[in-house]
């Protein structure tokens, strides 16, 4: 590996500045670009969007399911495979750093970017974060974990301050980032928002004291795009790279343009250019800070082989990537309700209804948008699999796609959306009802519409989709509703339908994965990584907490987010954290403690079908006077695939985070901890105690 200190010593200051401020990519494919230093054989560094697949401008890539779908598998090994596959595709597009994964905890169910994130629980989010990062980095691509930290809403995201106590930060919002650092992440992206009044790009206590000094992060910290607030403050706080470094805006510089809420001012760029040079000259920023910034960038370039000419071939749209996208989509599908209508019989007469049954639901809007080489709609997927007839009807008008790029008329995303490829005739509710009446089973596919830079106004399904479900359910008592959403939604018709399936945003394999699950070729093994509940019952339903008052979002709920809140309140969730049915039945034996951090339980498939369960562990801490802790905390999970009659002993390692609390440092209280083992936070099958 190159001698980074010696290389830095050879650079002129102009060359150093070019390595910490983004520039225009001459090839026009990268999201962010550092030009390198040809004189010293330092090549360019290309950064590319990629939480759901590679968003290289004008190029196609495998469209993987939403990150939330990967989290719903509760399988870090599968997440690691996806991370590695996305890295190989990045290399195929000649990109070096992947702007992924997003690991912010789901605090606000309305957040327009929840589909890119992992969970409402810090242990599950950390497990997935660690796995995705390890997968990306294993293929000689720099992973960029984002958005550091407390970026939990899109409303006012460039100005809002997260007013959050240190205990809450430490126990809930920081762990997924620490997990990424432990996995060897090469880059951390700062959030737009402020934390306790200070913009994250200027936040020295979090960037330098926690991230770099306490955790030992050796990579570089990059700003979110146009997310740099100052030159001196950011450089001294620990920010290393400004992106994109070049201004953006209307083609006519004299045109008046009001930047929408949630969109940073693209004309503010170049703060790490001449302003940084001036700050070094006047002593506001030490010269060795610039050397450190450059060394951190070069260190990551060297680690992935850019400085030694290492051969880094890529892989694009390969059969194994297609299979993986389908596997993640199917494995992440959650069966929320089922009265026996599923799985479908091969010869069932099926009516497939919904405004987008002819479209694959690729993802949400914004920087995660991808354009696949091919995709499979629900109509195509079910038609290819079915043994009986499949009749389709849209029923109601399409749901309008929303995207960050729609808010910026002068920006072309360069990517296709998942607009309808279906028939041109006007949708007819009567036709949908008639199709449902004539069918053995009616399947209604519904979706929400979420995007970066905008939060949802409501958890209700947009358009007339609820009316469509109600009409179809009235016509056929064997109605299955398939949700394709970026997070929790209201399900007011759930008592009137036979089954409810949550598919999230399934990506390019949409229809094929859906058919796999509906026909029982795969057991629905996804579990909820986020609680579904009535809109008004979430802790952030208070305006003070979300979207905030006077540009401050008060995290008054502390660590009581998601299932922790519902455990501690009288509010009942619709579908609890960890919930998900199978097509078979599992029985649990008695749990035993192997150590004070490990438990075992025997699980048996007592049904007549093969299936996959997700064995989950939760910890109830001992009471400590004056300390308000959650009733229980998720401590880990293990998927297990079993044939009929097969049993297996499952070992569950309890994450130390679930046993700990933060108060001027980490503490594990002495006493007896009850470990609950079961199928969700509301379905415990056995308990065992451990002593600490």
The DSSP-derived string for 269-307 is --TTSHHHHHHHHTTSS-HHHHHHHHHHHHHHHHHTTTT
Can you read off the two tokens belonging to residue 402?
A: 């929303």
Residues designated catalytic: 224
Cβ–Cβ under 8 Å, residues 538 and 561: no
C-alpha distances (whole Å) from 389 to each of 349, 383, 442 are 5, 8, 12
d(CA 331, CA 523): 8
d(CA 587, CA 593): 19
Cβ–Cβ under 8 Å, residues 56 and 29: yes
Cβ–Cβ under 8 Å, residues 112 and 456: yes
Can you read off the two tokens belonging to residue 480?
A: 């299955």
> Coil, strand, or helix at residue 187?
strand
Count Cα atoms within 13 angstroms, Cβ side, for 144.
27
587: β partners = 604
> Coil, strand, or helix at residue 160?
coil
Cα-based angle 284, 287, 290 (whole degrees, multiple of 5): 105
User: Within the chain, what is the greatest distance between any pair of CA atoms?
Assistant: 80
Beta pairing class for 187-190 and 161-163: unpaired
Cβ–Cβ under 8 Å, residues 217 and 182: no
The DSSP-derived string for 12-50 is -HHHHHHTSB----TTS--SEEE--BGGGTB--EEEEE-
Backbone dihedral region for residue 94 (phi beyond 0: left; psi -120 to 50: alpha; all else: beta): left
Exposed / middle / buried, residue 534 (Cβ in 10 Å: 0-12, 13-18, 19+)? middle
Residue holding tokens 């639901």?
A: 361
d(CA 131, CA 625): 37
Can you read off the two tokens belonging to residue 473?
A: 């359910």
Backbone dihedral region for residue 563 (phi beyond 0: left; psi -120 to 50: alpha; all else: beta): alpha
Residue holding tokens 């306490």?
A: 214
CA-closest candidate to residue 286, choices 229, 221, 235: 235
d(CA 639, CA 257): 51
Q: Helix, strand, coil % (nearest 5) of the chain? A: 30, 20, 50
The full 3-state SS of 619-676, as one line of letters, equals EECCCCCCCCCCCCEEEEEEEEEECCCCEEEEEEECCHHHHCEECCCEECCCCEEEEE
| Sequence-ordered strand ranges (E) for 205-281 | 220-222
Cβ–Cβ under 8 Å, residues 673 and 578: no
């Amino acid at each position: 590996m190159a001698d980074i200190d010696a290389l830095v010593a050879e650079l002129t200051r102009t060359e150093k500045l070019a390595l910490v401020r983004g520039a225009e990519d001459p090839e026009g494919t990268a999201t962010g670009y550092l030009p390198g230093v040809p004189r010293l054989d330092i090549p360019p560094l290309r950064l590319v969007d990629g939480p759901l697949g590679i968003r290289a401008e004008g190029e196609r890539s495998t469209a993987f399911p939403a990150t939330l779908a990967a989290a719903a598998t509760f399988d870090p090994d599968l997440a690691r495979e996806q991370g590695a596959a996305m890295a190989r595709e990045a290399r195929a597009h000649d990109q070096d750093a992947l702007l992924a994964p997003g690991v912010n905890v789901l605090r606000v169910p309305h957040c327009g970017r929840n589909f890119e994130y992992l969970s409402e629980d810090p242990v599950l989010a950390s497990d997935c974060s660690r796995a995705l990062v390890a997968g990306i980095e294993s293929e000689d691509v720099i992973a960029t974990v984002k958005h550091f930290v407390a970026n939990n809403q899109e409303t006012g995201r460039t100005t809002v301050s997260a007013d959050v106590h240190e205990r809450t930060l430490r126990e809930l919002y920081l762990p997924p980032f620490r997990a990424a650092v432990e996995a060897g992440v090469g880059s951390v992206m700062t959030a737009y928002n402020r934390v306790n009044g200070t913009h994250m790009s200027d936040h020295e206590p979090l960037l330098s004291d926690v991230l770099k000094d306490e955790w030992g992060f050796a990579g570089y910290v990059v700003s979110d795009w146009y997310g740099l607030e100052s030159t001196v403050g950011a450089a001294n706080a620990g920010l290393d790279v400004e992106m994109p470094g070049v201004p953006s805006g209307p083609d006519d510089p004299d045109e008046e343009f009001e930047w929408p809420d949630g969109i940073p001012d693209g004309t503010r760029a170049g703060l790490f250019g001449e302003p940084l040079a001036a700050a070094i000259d006047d002593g506001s920023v030490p010269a060795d800070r610039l050397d450190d910034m450059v060394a951190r960038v070069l260190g990551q370039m060297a680690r992935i082989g850019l400085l030694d000419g290492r051969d880094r071939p890529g892989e694009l749209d390969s059969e194994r990537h297609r299979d993986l996208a389908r596997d993640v989509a199917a494995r992440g599908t959650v069966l929320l309700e089922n009265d026996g209508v599923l799985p479908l019989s091969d010869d069932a007469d099926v009516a497939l209804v919904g405004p987008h049954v002819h479209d694959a639901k690729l993802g949400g809007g914004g920087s995660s948008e991808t354009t696949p080489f091919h995709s499979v709609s629900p109509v195509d997927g079910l038609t290819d699999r079915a043994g009986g007839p499949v009749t389709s009807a849209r029923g109601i008008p399409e749901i309008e796609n929303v995207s960050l790029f729609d808010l910026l008329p002068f920006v072309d995303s360069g990517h296709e959306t998942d607009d309808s490829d279906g028939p041109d005739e006007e949708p007819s509710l009567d036709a949908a009802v008639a199709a449902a009446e004539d069918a053995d089973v009616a399947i209604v596919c519904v979706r929400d519409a979420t995007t970066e830079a905008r939060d949802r106004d409501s958890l209700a399904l947009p358009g007339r989709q609820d009316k469509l479900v109600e009409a179809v359910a009235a016509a056929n008592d064997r109605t299955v509703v398939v949700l394709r959403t970026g997070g929790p939604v209201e399900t007011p018709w759930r008592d009137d339908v036979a089954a409810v399936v949550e598919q999230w945003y399934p990506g390019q394999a949409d229809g094929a994965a859906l058919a796999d699950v509906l026909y029982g070729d795969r057991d629905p093994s996804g579990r909820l990584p986020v609680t579904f509940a009535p809109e008004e019952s979430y802790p952030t339903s208070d305006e003070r907490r979300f979207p905030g008052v006077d540009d401050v979002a008060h995290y008054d709920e502390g660590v009581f987010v998601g299932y922790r809140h519902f455990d501690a309140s009288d509010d009942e969730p619709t579908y609890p954290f960890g919930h998900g049915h199978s097509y078979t039945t599992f029985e649990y034996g008695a749990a035993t403690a192997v150590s004070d951090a490990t438990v075992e339980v025997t699980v048996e498939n007592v049904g007549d079908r093969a299936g996959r369960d997700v064995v989950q562990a939760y910890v109830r801490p001992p009471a400590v006077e004056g300390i308000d802790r959650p009733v229980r905390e998720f401590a880990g999970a293990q998927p297990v695939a079993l044939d009929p009659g097969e049993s297996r002993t499952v070992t569950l390692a309890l994450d130390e985070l679930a046993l700990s609390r933060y108060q001027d440092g980490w503490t594990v209280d002495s006493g007896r901890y009850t470990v609950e083992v079961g199928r969700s936070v509301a379905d415990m099958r056995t308990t065992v105690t451990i002593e600490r």
